């Protein structure tokens, strides 16, 4: 009985560690190729906290949920991508208040470029 236990417990733990679905956000990882790796990194660092189920602001969640975006209708995806491009051009996101408090939240020009070109090519491929 003891040997069985020493085998089953490590196997269970290893399975737990190796199962990527258990760690992190499931649907975020399931979004597959919708987001490029570099766009996802910027979103994770600068946008995801507010625009995800864990976010505290209802307004932010109503405006955009990165996890749901790939599942919206084509028209809504294009509309949302359009809003994303607009806020990037106008430097409206992350909101001014949060950037004042946490200057590291500000998007660098490089990050803005990455997100904007991702959103534009996404919108383009939807319009084809």
Single out the segment in contact with ligand HEC by CB under 6 A; choices: 18-26, 44-52, 70-78, 120-128: 44-52
Considering beta carbons, is residue 32 or 97 the nearer one to ligand HEC? 97
Q: Could you say which residues in the range 67-96 bind ligand HEC, by CB under 6 A? A: 83-84, 87, 93-95
Tokens representing 85?
């491009």
Tokens representing 28?
């975020």
Smallest gap from Cβ 23 to ligand HEC, in A, equals 23
Q: Which of 35, 39, 40, 50 binds ligand HEC (CB under 6 A)?
A: 50
CA pair distance 119, 8, nearest whole angstrom: 47
How many CA within 13 A on the CB side of residue 53? Answer: 7
Q: Which of 23, 57, 71, 76 binds ligand HEC (CB under 6 A)?
A: 57
Burial of 77 (0-12, 13-18, 19+ CB in 10 A): middle
65 binds ligand HEC (CB under 6 A): no
């Amino acid at each position: 009985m003891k040997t069985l236990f020493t085998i089953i417990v490590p196997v269970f733990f290893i399975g737990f560690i190796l199962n990527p679905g258990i760690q992190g956000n499931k649907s975020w990882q399931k979004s597959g190729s919708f987001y490029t790796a570099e766009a996802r990194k910027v979103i994770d660092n600068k946008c995801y906290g507010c625009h995800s189920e864990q976010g505290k602001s209802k307004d932010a969640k109503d405006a955009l949920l990165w996890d749901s975006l790939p599942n919206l209708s084509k028209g809504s995806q294009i509309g949302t991508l359009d809003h994303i491009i607009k806020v990037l051009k106008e430097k409206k996101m992350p909101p001014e208040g949060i950037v004042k408090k946490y200057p590291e939240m500000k998007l660098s020009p490089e990050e803005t470029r990455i997100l904007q070109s991702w959103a534009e090519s996404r919108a383009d491929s939807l319009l084809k």
